[in-house]
Amino acid sequence: MRTFFEQLFRSQVWRSVFRHGLPESNRTRAEAIFFNFFLHVHPTKVRKRSVRFNYTWGLGGLSFGLFIILTVTGALLMLYYRPSAPQAYWDMKDLQFVVSSGQFLRNMHRWAAHAMVAVVFLHMLRVFYTGSYRPPKEFNWVIGVVLLVATILLSYTGYLLPWDQLAFWGISVGTNMARAMPFGIGEKISFLLLGGNIVGENALVRFYVLHCFILPVAAMVLMGIHFWRVRKDGGV
């Protein structure tokens, strides 16, 4: 078995994918980071202090982890969901009673979404209380605040999609708040969001597109910049 793996790791096919050898020396450990597309956002060496769990509580990383979980469960839920009224609600019922593990999938997406709002907020508090918004990280703090707003909007647009009473009235209350904006701006924004004056089928399609495409793409771009700047400013 051991020789099998040794041969595998030495084979040309393996080495064409992972160009570095096994991470047995500091040189190959460094190469494991900077030859890897996903890991090269990290420096090859980090301060011992910043690896300590209670330095950051891993809150930024956990926010990203929740985003990954939400993307995977969300993509699977899209397979069983049609954004039209009242079909959307019957698809919820199918997820509950017909689709294998459908209820579990929906639970996972729902609880991860609630957790993400809380964890991103806690991440902001951690950054504030450790003073990590100080120069040169000012603008990354701003991106972080925008990402917090994006997280809340993602959660909020998803809230309408089950098309049950909770969804309908939750969104009605929220868009009524937006309507309070002065000079008729509120009405315009609310009309743009809902595709009408009340929460109806147009609103469902718009929230679906915002929730599954526009907001996740915007969040991903902002996250890319956020992580890149963390690294450039000397973080992990």
Partner 1 sequence: MFKMNAEKDFHSEATTDAKKTPKRIAFIKERTAARVKKEDEEMVMTFPNLVLKEVIAFEMLVIVLAVISLAFDAPLEWIANPEHTPNPAKAPWYFLGLQELLHYFPPVVGGVILPALAVVALIVIPYFKINLKQEGLWKESRKQTLMVLLLSVGLVVVFLLAFKVYAMLIPTLFVTAFMLVPYFSKRQNGFTGWLGTRPLSWWVMTWFVTIVIVLTMIGTLFRGPEWSWTWPWEGVY
Within 87-116, the residues that bind partner 1 by CB under 8 A are 89, 92-93, 96, 103-104, 106-112, 114-115
For residues 186 and 216, which CB has a smaller minimum distance to partner 1 in the complex? 186
Among 1, 13, 17, 173, contact with partner 1 (rule: CB under 8 A)? 173
Q: Round to whole Å and give the CA distance between 156 and 135.
A: 33
Asked if residue 133 binds partner 1 (CB under 8 A), the reply is yes
Asked if residue 189 binds partner 1 (CB under 8 A), the reply is no
Whether the Cβ atoms of residue 171 and residue 202 lie closer than 8 Å to each other? no
Tell me, by CB under 8 A, how many residues bind partner 1.
82
For residues 7 and 39, which CB has a smaller minimum distance to partner 1 in the complex? 39
**Shortest separation between residue 19's beta carbon and partner 1, angstroms:** 14
Q: Round to whole Å and give the CA distance between 116 and 148.
A: 10
Q: What is the dihedral of CA 168, 170, 171, 174, to 10 degrees?
A: 150
Among 8, 198, 209, 221, contact with partner 1 (rule: CB under 8 A)? 198
Asked if residue 125 binds partner 1 (CB under 8 A), the reply is yes
**Shortest separation between residue 9's beta carbon and partner 1, angstroms:** 16
Among 67, 74, 123, 137, contact with partner 1 (rule: CB under 8 A)? 137
Among 18, 55, 76, 178, contact with partner 1 (rule: CB under 8 A)? 178
Whether cis (ω within 30° of 0) applies to the bond prior to 136 is yes
Whether cis (ω within 30° of 0) applies to the bond prior to 86 is yes
- Stretch 31-70 residues interacting with partner 1 (CB under 8 A): 32-33, 39, 42-49, 51, 53, 58, 61-62, 65-66, 68-69
Place of tokens 């609630």: 114
For residues 212 and 235, which CB has a smaller minimum distance to partner 1 in the complex? 235
- Stretch 204-233 residues interacting with partner 1 (CB under 8 A): none
Q: Round to whole Å and give the CA distance between 194 and 188.
A: 10
Q: Round to whole Å and give the CA distance between 221 and 233.
A: 18
DSSP codes of every residue in 173-203: HHHHHHTT-TTTHHHHHHHHHHTSSSSSHHH
Cα 156 to the center of its chain, rounded Å: 14
